[in-house]
Amino acid sequence: MKNILVLCTGNSCRSQMAHGYLEKLQNGLANIYSAGIETHGLNPNAVAIMAEDGIDISKHGSNHVNEYIDVDFDFIITVCDHADENCPYIPSKNAKRFHHNFLDPSKFEGTAEEKHDVFLKVRNDIKEYCQKFILRELHD
């Protein structure tokens, strides 16, 4: 079974959403992990927007990448430029690395409705990315 790490700065929002979609959509083809180069705790808006699409990430923890130092990853996906630029060395022998910089919805300032719309857009972008990743990398 393949091992996939989704890496972000704080493992609170974007990496958690990608973790949720990859876990839900890949049908047992891989073990999914998410981590940050820091830990910021789970973002409640990320939990809520994922629940709207039927995915419960409320039990996920905010993990530091060093917690997975002994896991041999097949794929490492960075979902923000900061993590891509500051990612520590991960000693996975043949990990294929992917990067996509998703907008950070937690940084958006605005009304509750505007924040919801930004989280929704980012969630949908992440979902589409995960669907394409699964088709391209996990299906022969």
80 is catalytic: yes
Query: What is the C-alpha to C-alpha distance for residues 22 and 111, in angstroms, rounded to an integer?
Result: 30
Catalytic residue among 29, 87, 95, 103: 87
Catalytic residue, chosen from 4, 7, 8, 122, is 8
Alpha-carbon distance of 13 to 91, in angstroms, equals 25
Residue 36 near residue 8, CB atoms below 8 Å = yes
Which residues, other chains included, contact 83 with Cβ-Cβ below 8 Å and sequence gap of 6+?
Answer: 7, 8, 9, 15, 36, 37
Cα–Cα dist 84/94, whole Å: 17
Helix (H, G, I), strand (E, B) or coil at 10: coil
Q: What is the DSSP letter of 68?
A: G
Q: Which residue of the set 80, 90, 126, 130 is catalytic?
A: 80
Question: Which residues are known to be catalytic?
Answer: 8, 80, 87
